[in-house]
Amino acid sequence: MWKRFTIGLVYFALLLIACPSWAAHPLITDDSGTQGKGNFQLELNAQFDWDKDDTEELSVRTTGGQAAATLSYGIAENFDLVLSLPYLWGKAEVNEITVHDGKGFGDAVLETKLRLFEKNGFSMALKPGISFPTGDDEKGLGAGQLGGHLF
């Protein structure tokens, strides 16, 4: 009985000392698995964020979020085509005066995923992508230019 109590106490203590972790879209982690020829996958995800910072002279409050849809399609057993489209919203207030309020579609992203190596349960993939300026950059919803990345 004391052993279970001690283990429970240790777990409780670990929960108390845990630190927060912060993540934001796009989450860069991705496994090297592909859909396989002719298969597809639809991913839907969302996030919501808020922050407030009060000093003697300033009160700054921000809220925002993102909802995104990602469609992956297997061109070959080791090759996928991936299309993502986010919808973004955000609002910022300084001393209760709105200084930013934007919402709409963000930049669309087209990626490919190529699994290059697979052996004994280990695999590696290459994932290049292009972002298209479909979001309104004046409202803070996009970059306003083509972009690229490689993971």
Query: What would the DSSP string read from start to end of 77-91?
Result: TTEEEEEEEEEEEEE
Q: Look at residue 138 and tell me if it is in a domain.
A: yes
Does residue 134 surpass a pLDDT of 70?
yes
Q: Look at residue 45 and tell me if it is in a domain.
A: yes
pLDDT at position 27? 61
pTM tops 0.95, yes or no: no
Confidence of residue 21 (pLDDT cuts 50, 70, 90): low
Q: Look at residue 6 and tell me if it is in a domain.
A: no
Distance, CA of 18 to CA of 91 (rounded, Å): 30
Name the domain count of the chain: 1
pLDDT at position 30? 80
